[in-house]
């Protein structure tokens, strides 16, 4: 019997699996199951936002769009950065430490970053899209038994993991799934 790289038995699930590396510049070409990895900040801050009570996260690519989304969804909080610097008018920086101290009681969090949210929003050809970081790394490859997150309704193409990403026009919404 064949084994995986970790010496575990390979039951054929890895037989046809292919891995491709994309950057923010070319991630629009990614297809199939896509894992957007922002190891330290964006999706670690996202996981902390859920832990602190966020109802969901809306990922966006521009500062202007983040402000427009907050105007359309009163009570929302904007979190993020541009080139690793805080943005005037955003409620929280893209900092897991800052988010860990925040109280986000059932609030929508609008998230804009230079890397992680860009990749997630641009990977529009993905059949399933996962947002991964160190704090959710163990859960990322383990799909939930539920195919629809409890906190998302009537949105299409839901991928499930601890943080699941759902397609929306120009933005992505993440909802936690256990």
Residue 175 to residues 47, 75, 130, Cα–Cα distance (Å):
10, 17, 11
Residue 2 lies inside a defined structural domain of this protein? no
pLDDT bracket for residue 85 (50, 70, 90): very high
The encoded tokens of residue 35 equal 């894992």
With a pLDDT cut of 90, the percent of the chain lying above it is 33
pLDDT tens for residues 53-62? 888 888 899 9
Residue 94 lies inside a defined structural domain of this protein? yes
Q: How many domains, in total, are found in the chain?
A: 1
Is the model's pLDDT at 82 over the cut of 90? yes
Residue 136 lies inside a defined structural domain of this protein? yes
pLDDT tens for residues 111-143? 999 999 999 888 888 887 888 887 777 666 655
**Exposed e or buried b per residue across 63-80, where buried means at least 16 C-beta atoms within 10 angstroms of its C-beta:** bebbbebbeeeeebbbbb
pLDDT bracket for residue 169 (50, 70, 90): very low
Residue 87 lies inside a defined structural domain of this protein? yes
CATH number at residue 57: 3.90.1560.10
Is the model's pLDDT at 178 over the cut of 70? no
CA angle 152, 157, 158 (to 5 degrees): 50
Predicted confidence at residue 20, as pLDDT, reads 84
Mean pLDDT over 38-44 rounds to 86
Highest mean pLDDT, choosing among 77-81, 117-121, 142-146: 77-81
Residue 66 lies inside a defined structural domain of this protein? yes
Mean pLDDT over 144-156 rounds to 34
Residue 166 lies inside a defined structural domain of this protein? yes
Residue 150 in contact with residue 134, Cβ under 8 Å? Answer: no
Residue 10 lies inside a defined structural domain of this protein? no
Q: Within 10 A of 167 (CB to CB), how many other CB atoms are there?
A: 17
Residue 4 lies inside a defined structural domain of this protein? no
Range of the domain at 59: 27-176
């Amino acid at each position: 019997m064949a084994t995986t790289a970790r010496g575990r038995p390979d039951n054929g699930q890895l037989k046809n699996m292919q891995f491709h590396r994309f950057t923010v510049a070319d991630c629009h070409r990614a297809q199939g199951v896509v894992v957007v990895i922002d190891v330290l900040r964006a999706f670690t801050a996202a996981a902390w936002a859920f832990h602190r009570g966020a109802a969901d996260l809306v990922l966006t690519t521009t500062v202007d769009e983040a402000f427009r989304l907050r105007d359309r969804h009163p009570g929302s909080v904007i979190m993020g950065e541009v080139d690793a610097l805080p943005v005037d008018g955003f409620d929280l920086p893209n900092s897991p430490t800052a988010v860990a101290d925040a109280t986000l009681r059932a609030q929508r969090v609008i998230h804009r970053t230079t890397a992680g949210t860009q990749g997630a929003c641009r990977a529009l050809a993905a059949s399933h899209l996962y947002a991964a970081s160190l704090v959710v790394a163990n859960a990322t490859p383990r799909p939930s038994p539920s195919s629809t997150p409890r906190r998302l309704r009537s949105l299409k193409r839901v991928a499930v993991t601890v943080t699941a990403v759902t397609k929306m026009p120009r933005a992505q919404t993440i909802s936690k799934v256990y």
